[in-house]
A = this chain, B = another copy of it.
Amino acid sequence: MGNNGDYMFQSTMNRIGFTHQVAIPPPQPFFNSLKGSLKETFFPDDPFRQFKNQPSARKFVLALQYFLPFLEWAPRYTFQFFRADLIAGITIASLAIPQGISYAKLANLPPILGLYSSFVPPLVYAMMGSSRDLAVGTLAVGSLLMASMLGGEVSATEQPKLYLHLAFTATFFAGVFQAALGFLRLGFIVDFLSHAAIVGFMSGAATVVCLQQLKGILGLEHFTHGTDLVSVMRSIFTQIHQWRWESGVLGCVFLFFLILTRYLSKRRPKFFWISVMAPLTSLILGSVLVYLTHAEKHGVEVIGHLKKGLNPPSLTSLEFGSEHLMLAVKTGIIMGVIALAEGIAVGRSFAMFKNYHIDGNKEMIAFGMMNIAGSCTSCYLTGGPFSRSAVNFNAGCKSAVSNIVMATAVMITLLFLTPLFHYTPIVVLSSLIISAMVGLIDYEAAVHLWKLDKFDFIVSMSAYIGVVFGSVEIGLIIAVTISMLRVLLFIARPRTYVLGNIPNSMIYRNIDQYPVANSVPGVLILQIDAPIYFANASYLRERILRWINEEEDRLKSSGENSLNYVILDISSVGSIDTSGIDLMKEVKKNIDRKGLKMVLANPGSEVMKKLDKSKFIENLGHEWIYLTVGEAVGACNFMLHTCKSGHVTHETAHLDNV
């Protein structure tokens, strides 16, 4: 102990000329700091950088390119690219047609809407989107949400026209909301849906979608409107006698076929084609089978007549004057957020692979425009589904042209091929949905979360349970609330650590993390690990005083020197509000009252500014603020050894040369 003290004393003497002052930053005009923080909040990606010092003609071209990214890449587009995009486009079209029909059924909408929705929106996205790999199409979860939210007030079977119009209206508002988020640069709102929450939510939604398909597989006519596990199970097991074995057998056969091909292509990547072609093959096989066996007369339900022709306009169908307007707005906002969260995550992960950049706000504008355009041309909610985009990527797409190819293929189908789907059995669509959804139930991700971060696991599981046993909205609300609570809890209960000296250095670190670190006699060094806000000020006051009391008790019981200094390392205190400043004043008062001296180490510029404005620095003494913990300890030791009387009178003993 004596050695350590001497060492410290020596090194203090050596360094006393070198201690650094923490300057108070010059006051900034309020307008400047406001501008700075607004810019960092809303324009973190600095989208105007490329506009700087450009002639206005060039600025106009750049602005056009910003909103229509295809203008940027189209001039450089080559035939090689087109060949790749053609193959990828045809591949995703073969997936888009059966999936479109299935998901429209899931949303309780006419099946043809699924095809319409794969025609106009992909064309819009190809112009405006910045992802090269995203394949546009309807979403399973979006369709489910629409069915459960709109269906709660308006029955799709009793008022099909109103339901259809509300679906367009909700899509319109989803688009407006998405585009508004992008224009107002509020894209970060989507970030508050954590990855863990999305994993749980998506798995839950996939489970619910699978459960809903039992209706089609078992050929039931009546089914619950609820989406939760309990209602569905009750609905199924109360009508065992209505189960249709023909339908069930057909469904199981196709499901087995689809899952087998998926399994095969996972084992051998070169069989990738098999699993991609499987849905369309099932559709054709199923239709041919029904046509030949006339199974539609033996309990196997078929799609029936599909109208030939391209999307009819639906602008006049938007129900702005309806009493259900608020429902449409609410549904639109929730669907819009979910579609964005999935679409942007998908776009970002593929951009990461191929090393190009995706602008979240620009994507939101593209998604929004695509849905607004869609709602006027008889489409419902579209986004960038993961499964279809992954197929697009694997098929080797090079640009958004693959979406144009897909749209063209769908157009041809709409114009000429719709009669072919007359005999397509519903049960095959159900199998298609189940096989697509099973892949989304991501139990491996849940295991991964459990291993890495228990709290994320809890968020994920709550979202899953909320969706499966409650409803899609309940799951979403639970997931967002728990994620928020975590953030708030972090703020409300920041960590505080005792620091010690790493031997033979000027470094001070948490003694729990570094057991070699030694405490400094007479000095308690505390580190605060979060901004000091109203939400944690009273906790921090209690916690800091408890640290001091515990240290005094410890010293008393071990008979060591008494405590003289409390150093607060506030390097990590990025920000402080008025409650935080009051806390600092109260802590100082308490420390003074105990006859100790408070010392600050390494305050940031914002904290310095506020402490200065509130006269705290004047009150503490500017000379008691040090750049590093090491220098603060040095000064404390210097004072302890200089004033050998044992009791340091802090009022007079200032280090005037510091």
Q: Is A613 an interface residue (CB 8 A)?
A: yes
**Do A453 and B578 form a contact, CB below 8 Å, given A191-B536, A605-B513, A627-B502?**
yes
User: In this assembly, does A59 line the interface, its C-beta being within 8 Å of a C-beta of chain B?
Assistant: no
Residues facing B in A585-634 (CB within 8 A) are 586, 589, 593, 602, 604-605, 608, 610, 613-614, 627-628
Q: Are B610 and A452 in contact (CB under 8 A)?
A: yes
A280 CB to nearest B CB, Å? 35
Q: Are B452 and A614 in contact (CB under 8 A)?
A: yes
- A195 lies within 8 A of B41 (CB): no
Does A572 have its Cβ within 8 Å of any Cβ on chain B?
yes
Q: Which of B23, B572, B578, B581 contacts A572 (CB 8 A)?
A: B572
CB-nearest residue of chain B to A507? B628
Bound Cα distance from A531 to B628, whole angstroms:
22
The residue among A45, A46, A534, A604 with the most chain B CB atoms within 10 A of its own CB is: A534
Contact of A575 (CB < 8 Å), options: B188, B196, B490, B614 = B490
In the docked arrangement, what's the CA distance between A456 and B532, Å? 13
CB atoms of A579 and B507 under 8 A apart:
no
Judged by a CB distance under 8 angstroms, whether A552 is at the interface is no
Q: How far is the CA of A484 from the CA of B572 in the complex (A)?
A: 21
Interface residue total, chain A, C-beta cutoff 8 A: 87
- Residue in B closest to A190 when the chains form the complex, CB atoms: B538
Residue ID in chain B nearest A450 by CB atoms: B30
Query: With A and B bound together, what is the CA distance between A41 and B23 in angstroms?
Result: 36
The residues in A between 412 and 469 inclusive whose CB is less than 8 angstroms from any CB of B are 448-449, 451-456
In the bound complex, residues from chain B placing their C-beta under 8 Å from that of A195 are 534, 578-579, 582
Bound Cα distance A586, B451 (Å): 20
Is A362 positioned at the interface, with any CB of B under 8 Å from its CB? no
CB contacts (< 8 Å) of A509 on chain B: these are 602, 627
Counting CB contacts under 8 A, is A542 at the interface? yes
Output the least CB separation between A181 and chain B (Å): 14
Interchain CB contact under 8 A, A453 and B493: no
Taking a contact as CB atoms closer than 8 A, the residue among B20, B494, B539, B604 that contacts A510 in the complex is B604
Provide the residues of chain B in CB contact with A25, threshold 8 Å. Answer: 513
Q: In the bound complex, how far is the Cα of B537 from the Cα of A196, in angstroms?
A: 13
Q: Select A539's contact among B188, B572, B578, beta carbons within 8 Å.
A: B188
Which residues on B sit within 8 Å (CB–CB) of A512?
Answer: 605
CA gap between A634 and B124 in the complex, in Å: 53
Query: Binary interface profile of A, 561-593, with partner B (CB < 8 Å = 1, else 0)?
Result: 000000000011011011101100010010001
Check A533 for interface membership: any CB of B closer than 8 A.
Answer: yes
Establish whether residues A360 and B538, one from each chain, have CB atoms under 8 Å apart when the complex forms.
yes
A residues with a Cβ closer than 8 A to B are 18, 20, 23, 25, 30, 34, 40-41, 44-46, 188, 191-197, 348, 352, 355, 360, 448-449, 451-456, 483-484, 486-495, 502, 504-507, 509-510, 512-514, 529-531, 533-539, 542-543, 546, 571-572, 574-575, 577-579, 581-582, 586, 589, 593, 602, 604-605, 608, 610, 613-614, 627-628
Q: Residues of B contacting A586 with CB < 8 Å?
A: 352
CB pair B535–A194 under 8 Å, yes or no, is yes
Instruction: Please state if B41 and A493 are interface contacts (CB–CB under 8 Å).
Output: yes
Query: For A613, what are the chain B residues with a Cβ–Cβ distance below 8 Å?
Result: 451-452
Q: Is the CB of B492 within 8 A of A194?
A: no
B488 x A487 contact (CB < 8 A): yes
Checking B40, B492, B505, B627 against A188 with a beta-carbon cut-off of 8 angstroms, the contacting residue is B492
- Chain A facing B: main interface SS: helix
- Other CB < 8 Å A-B pairs besides A196-B534, A196-B579, A355-B593, 14 of them? A25-B513, A40-B493, A46-B546, A188-B493, A191-B535, A191-B536, A192-B488, A192-B534, A193-B534, A360-B538, A486-B533, A502-B627, A510-B605, A572-B574
A-B contact pairs, 18 of them (CB 8 A): A25-B513, A44-B546, A188-B535, A188-B539, A191-B539, A192-B488, A192-B492, A194-B534, A196-B534, A196-B577, A456-B578, A483-B535, A487-B487, A502-B627, A509-B602, A513-B608, A571-B572, A572-B572
**Within the assembled complex, what's the spacing in Å between the Cα atoms of A448 and B613?**
10
Interface centre among A25, A452, A571, A602 (most CB of B within 10 A): A452
Question: Nearest-CB distance from A482 to chain B (Å)?
Answer: 12
Q: Write the nearest CB–CB distance from A573 to chain B, whole angstroms.
A: 9
When distances are taken between beta carbons in the complex, the residues of chain B under 8 Å from A455 are 577
Q: How far is the CA of A46 from the CA of B549 in the complex (A)?
A: 12
Are A530 and B579 neighbours in the complex by a CB distance under 8 Å? no
Contacts of A453 in B (CB 8 A): 577-578, 610
- Residue in B483, B507, B610 whose CB lies within 8 Å of A534: B483
Contact between A507 and B452 (Cβ–Cβ < 8 Å)? no
The CA-CA distance from A586 to B535 in the complex, in Å, is 32
Complex-state Cα separation, A536 to B192, whole angstroms: 8
Contact yes or no, A484 B494, CB < 8 A: no
A20 pairs with B196, CB closer than 8 A? no
The answer to whether A452 and B578 touch across the interface, beta carbons within 8 angstroms, is yes
Closest to A506 in B: B506
